[in-house]
Amino acid sequence: MAAPVAVQEDGEIQFAESAPYDEYVHASTLHTLQRTISDDPGEMSFLVVSQIMELYFGLIRFELREAQRLVRDDDVWGALEPLRRAGLHLEGLNGSWRTLRWMSPADFNRFRGQLGEASGFQSAMYRHMEFALGLKSEPLIRPFRRQKAVYADLTRDIREPSLWDEVIALLARRGNDIPAEALHRDRTRDHEPHPAVEDAWVRVYAEPNPGNDLWLLAEALTEIGEQFSDWRYLHLKAVLRTLGDKPGTAGSSGANWLRRSMGRSVFPELWSARTHM
């Protein structure tokens, strides 16, 4: 859509309709979405940061899916750009936790009780981001069954290959002996590390040079894996700072759940291969 024409009136620039910036960014809509449920001023910070995180989840998923498409098409060089952006977006996402360091248990408790059953555990877009990374668990989508459209999207997404699945298929197309059980598996479950995939990365890292696209791919994925691990650690620290080991909002197990989730590695053979280099 063409931008509205600017006209001069009394020496000021005005627009025939709404400002082009608002037409593009929808800022006036964004700033109507902060509807707090308590009188505590700290809740606004918590709500806005939560919304920023949701936007980052969607953006990171977008970049990962674009990289996945390019890897599937054997365009590794092209995939490096969205992967680099995804790593930087994860860095921004991690920065969001740092802006909540002001929140003590007393600060959170002033409005926590009014959140009812609302919990970050219920973020559908976070699940989509995890699925793109290869972290999958069908029980995690069951809470969305009453949201039919959301549940259908999650069900479809969990059954599709992840970025890591596409990368492993790429390794096979590049001549690595990847067995069928690593290539054709139940997509609704976490990827199980396989020695053949690990061996392939050991061979890739034997030639660390800027002309080796697989080596550059491995480094880009390593950065994403590291930033995502930082995200989970920062999440755990934020929960411990405000809740300790109490149950999370809506009755989740809080810090204990986060501790367990940190054991589910992203791109596992990229990390285990380093032991054999």
Q: Which of 4, 23, 134 is nearest to 71 (CA)?
A: 134
CA dist 100 and 241 (Å) reads 10
To the question of whether residue 112 is assigned a binding role by annotation, the answer is: yes
- Any known ligand binding at 31? no
From the list 219, 237, 223, 252, the residue with the least C-alpha distance to 96 is 237
Q: Is 235 annotated as a binding residue?
A: yes
Question: What DSSP string describes 81-132?
Answer: HHHHHHHHHHHHHHHHHHTTTT--HHHHHHHHGGGTT--GGG-HHHHHHHHH
Three-state DSSP state, 27: helix
Query: Helices in the chain by DSSP H: which ranges?
Result: 20-25, 27-30, 42-72, 76-98, 105-112, 124-133, 148-159, 163-173, 180-183, 195-205, 213-242, 255-261, 268-272
Beta bridge partners of 231: none
Q: Which of 246, 245, 69, 32 is nearest to 162 (CA)?
A: 69
Known binding residues are 112, 235, 249
Known binding residues for heme are 235
Known binding residues for substrate are 112, 249
